[in-house]
Structure 1
Amino acid sequence: MLAQRTKLFKSSGTAAARAAAKAAADAGMEIVDLTAGEIWSDLAPTIRDGAIEAIRQGLNRYTDTIGSMELREALARKVSVETGQLWLAEEIAVTSGAKQALFNVAMALINPGDQVIIPAPYWTTFPAQVQIAGGTPVHIDTRGNGYVPRIDDIRRVVTPLTRAIVVNTPGNPTGAVYDAETLVAIGRLAVEQDLWIIFDECYAPFTYDGHRHHPVVSLVPEVRARMVIVNSFSKSLALTGWRVGYLAAPKELISAVKGLQSHTTSNPNVVAQHAVQHHLRDGDGTFEARLRGQLKAARQAGLAALSQLQRVPIPEAQGGFYFYLDLSSVLRPTLDDDHAETSDDIVSALLAQAGVAGVSGTAFGDAVGLRFSYGIPPELLEAGLERVVRVLNAWI
């Protein structure tokens, strides 16, 4: 009845976790929801003022399909500063969030049968979009190396069908930050093997404890002709609902993205575009600094609570705003067979026994992982994680 491609994907695992939390709350349970990949924050004043200005000016007409020229010029300046290389407006496309940017890239780059290397655990949308485009995700297990892929493992799975490598740093769900040495090796491999790098850096502003985000093109400039930078303002400005993302790529790819987007969403929301443009022009970094401070404090409080875990390793949480737990030490064989329980069971137990919602690692290709967001108010975070510790320490 439905198109065959619908069998290739299902609803996002993170969306399902949010839905389960809402259902429990609607049923009368007191729930601490640690599922959402967003930061609880007021609007940046410059975003608010820019949106109001757009409304007062009556900006209700189409912009260019891939964003207004003014915004793309501002984004080109931003990417130029961040990478140390000159970027032009014609190398920028504005999208309805980073998810659309990634979808555009998948549809513009991947042919049926192409293979795309995706380190695991991975954000659930990466493989889904590859499959929608007709490609095949090829996963590399990073759990034994601090959730950062080893270059030898990547090289081992490269075949004549390999088209691209997805690099997500700081990583969702793990919070791992790729070191410069690893990024250099990936960049050189991409040049050597004529591969594309899809570089998702949506969590770039948030790194901790001496870890630093490195744009791969800054380390290996020659990869620029084979690389796409994907970013958004959903995390950096706490604007998940506004849906403003962008990509930076060679002009030919931007042209293909423009053609595709003209037949899907057309231009992103014009009021949101104007608000972001206003912020890029008038923002002084104060809001971003406050947001980073908020997350840094939440991370410290959360790690203090999680330090009471007896059998589960304390997550490093190098970047982003997630705690990613390795539950392998508390999982056990079931009574019926020799298969190990998965993190799904613990997620269900935490929801029922502690009133805390998290996202099972099975959503990210990892049967023993568990993701908690610390983007929520600190008092809720600490209360929720204390309940988590109590249940996990009793899990035998």
Structure 2
Amino acid sequence: MLAQRTSLFGLSGTAAARAAAKVAADAGKEIIDLTAGEIWSELAPTIREGAIDAINKGVNRYTDTVGMIELREALARKVSLDTGDTWTAEEVAVTSGAKQALFNAAMVLLNPGDEVIIPAPYWTTFPAQVLIAGGRPVFVDSRSNGYVARIEQIKGAVTERTRAIVVNTPSNPAGAVYDVQTLMAIAQLAINRSLWIIFDECYGDFVHGHHAHHPIVSVAPEVRARTLIVNTFSKSLALTGWRIGYLAGPKEVISAVKALQSHTSSNPNVIAQHAVLAHLQRGDGVYESKLRSRLANARRLGLNVLSSLTRIRVPQAQGGFYFYLDLSDLLRRKLEDGASTTADDIANTLLAEAGVAAVSGTAFGDPVGLRLSYGIPPDKLETGLSRLVELLNAWE
């Protein structure tokens, strides 16, 4: 009865994990939820003030399909500052979160049968949207290289049907940060083979230790004409529910996105647009600095707890706000004992026996991974990770 395309995708794996945690909590079980890709935080004052001002002024009408011109101009200034090159409002589309930006990119770039190279583990929405657009995801396993795809692997995956490469840095779920050399090599490959780069930098505000985030068009300016930048305020301003993101790229792509968006969502939420515009105009960086400091403290706390793991390596957590555990050694021992155990089994056991909700790596194309968010309050984080360490160290 349903369209054939519905067989190509299911419920997002991260959404399914959140739903399972909610079911357990609703049943009266004390659950510490480490599944969500969001930060528990108060609103930035400028966001709150911008939204309230817009409401008090009676703002309730359509805006331009791809966002208010004032907001797109402010975003163009932001992208210009981030990349070191000049961008204009005509090269920016405001979207209902990064997911719509990615969906728009897939729909305006891909023809049926086109291939898109996606390093694995990957955010679950990347391949789903390629499939919806009629394309074919081609996965490159990055686990052996610290979750950063090697350029040789990417080159080996290119065929005559390849249309685009997804670059997600810092990556979700693994938190890996791409180095300058790898980005330059990917850019040169895209130029040589006339490929598009879909550059997802949604976690770019959160890098840790000696690592740094580099927009690919800043390290290789010549690839700008073949690059679409995807970003959002869901992470950097802890606004997941407000659904404001943006897509930056060549004018002809943004023009096509505008036409597409006019038939899907019309414009993004007008109050959220005004709130983000107020922040871009009046924000002083204090809120972002506090948010980064909070996450840095949570990362230190979490890594300290996870250092007690006896059979699992402590994750590097270079960027973003996830700990990504490699369960391969633990699962290998179980297999040697004749038991077939998966990351799904471990996630289910954690929820049932320890009251800790995590996302199995199978959601990200990785059967031996486990994603844990540290964007939650520190007391809950410490309790949840301590329970997890105790269960995994005793795993038989």
Do they fold alike, i.e. is TM over 0.5? Answer: yes
Matching of residue 261 in structure 1 with residue 239 in structure 2: no
Matching of residue 241 in structure 1 with residue 241 in structure 2: yes
Counterpart Cα distance in 2 of 1:338 and 1:3: 41
Q: Quick one: percent identity of the two aligned structures?
A: 71
Q: Is the 8 Å Cα contact of residues 54 and 271 (structure 1) preserved in structure 2?
A: yes
Partner of 1:235: helix, strand, or coil? helix
Matched AA of 1:195: L
**Where does 1:64-213 land on structure 2 (aligned, <5 Å)?**
64-213=64-213
Q: What are the superposed Cα offsets for residues 212-256 of structure 1, whole Å, 9 maximum, x if unpaired?
A: 000000011111110000000000000000000001000000000
The structure 1 segments of at least 4 consecutive aligned residues displaced by more than 6 Å after TM superposition are 333-339
Matching of residue 328 in structure 1 with residue 325 in structure 2: no
Counterpart Cα distance in 1 of 2:337 and 2:308: 32
Q: Is the 8 Å Cα contact of residues 331 and 342 (structure 1) preserved in structure 2?
A: yes
1:232 aligned partner: 232
Matching of residue 20 in structure 1 with residue 24 in structure 2: no
Counterpart Cα distance in 2 of 1:131 and 1:339: 34
Partner of 1:281: helix, strand, or coil? helix
Matched AA of 2:370: L
Deviation at 1:342, TM superposition (A): 1.3
Deviation at 1:27, TM superposition (A): 1.1
Partner of 1:137: helix, strand, or coil? strand
Q: Is the 8 Å Cα contact of residues 333 and 341 (structure 1) preserved in structure 2?
A: no
Counterpart Cα distance in 1 of 2:189 and 2:370: 31
Q: What are the superposed Cα offsets for residues 270-299 of structure 1, whole Å, 9 maximum, x if unpaired?
A: 000000000000000000000000000000
Counterpart Cα distance in 1 of 2:93 and 2:364: 28
Deviation at 1:341, TM superposition (A): 2.0
1:304 aligned partner: 304
Counterpart Cα distance in 1 of 2:308 and 2:330: 15
Counterpart Cα distance in 1 of 2:223 and 2:371: 32
Unaligned runs of 5+ in 1: none
Deviation at 1:141, TM superposition (A): 0.4
Q: Is the 8 Å Cα contact of residues 85 and 218 (structure 1) preserved in structure 2?
A: yes
Deviation at 1:347, TM superposition (A): 0.2
* Structure 1 residues 25 and 210: CA distance shift in structure 2, 3 A: same
Counterpart Cα distance in 1 of 2:119 and 2:26: 36
* Structure 1 residues 145 and 67: CA distance shift in structure 2, 3 A: same
Counterpart Cα distance in 2 of 1:28 and 1:60: 40
Counterpart Cα distance in 1 of 2:277 and 2:317: 31
Counterpart Cα distance in 2 of 1:116 and 1:274: 35
Q: What are the superposed Cα offsets for residues 185-237 of structure 1, whole Å, 9 maximum, x if unpaired?
A: 00010001100000000000000011000000001111111000000000000
Partner of 2:191: helix, strand, or coil? helix
Counterpart Cα distance in 2 of 1:339 and 1:330: 12
Counterpart Cα distance in 1 of 2:335 and 2:379: 39
Aligned length: 396
Partner of 1:329: helix, strand, or coil? helix
Counterpart Cα distance in 1 of 2:217 and 2:335: 51
Matched AA of 1:205: D
2:52 aligned partner: 52
1:289 aligned partner: 289
Q: Is the 8 Å Cα contact of residues 333 and 340 (structure 1) preserved in structure 2?
A: no
* Structure 1 residues 335 and 210: CA distance shift in structure 2, 3 A: closer
Partner of 1:330: helix, strand, or coil? helix
Matched AA of 1:102: L
2:273 aligned partner: 273
Counterpart Cα distance in 2 of 1:261 and 1:3: 22
Partner of 1:208: helix, strand, or coil? coil
Q: Is the 8 Å Cα contact of residues 358 and 371 (structure 2) preserved in structure 1?
A: yes
Counterpart Cα distance in 1 of 2:132 and 2:353: 38
Matched AA of 1:395: W
Partner of 1:238: helix, strand, or coil? coil
Q: What are the superposed Cα offsets for residues 125-164 of structure 1, whole Å, 9 maximum, x if unpaired?
A: 0000000000000000000000000000000010010000
Q: What are the superposed Cα offsets for residues 52-76 of structure 1, whole Å, 9 maximum, x if unpaired?
A: 0000111101000000000000000
Q: What are the superposed Cα offsets for residues 329-353 of structure 1, whole Å, 9 maximum, x if unpaired?
A: 1114778997842100000111111
Counterpart Cα distance in 1 of 2:276 and 2:234: 11
Counterpart Cα distance in 1 of 2:9 and 2:145: 29
Counterpart Cα distance in 2 of 1:123 and 1:111: 22
Unaligned runs of 5+ in 2: none
Q: What are the superposed Cα offsets for residues 79-120 of structure 1, whole Å, 9 maximum, x if unpaired?
A: 000000000000000000000000000000010000000000
1:35 aligned partner: 35
Counterpart Cα distance in 2 of 1:32 and 1:329: 25
Partner of 2:140: helix, strand, or coil? strand
2:348 aligned partner: 348
Counterpart Cα distance in 1 of 2:271 and 2:349: 43
Partner of 1:234: helix, strand, or coil? helix
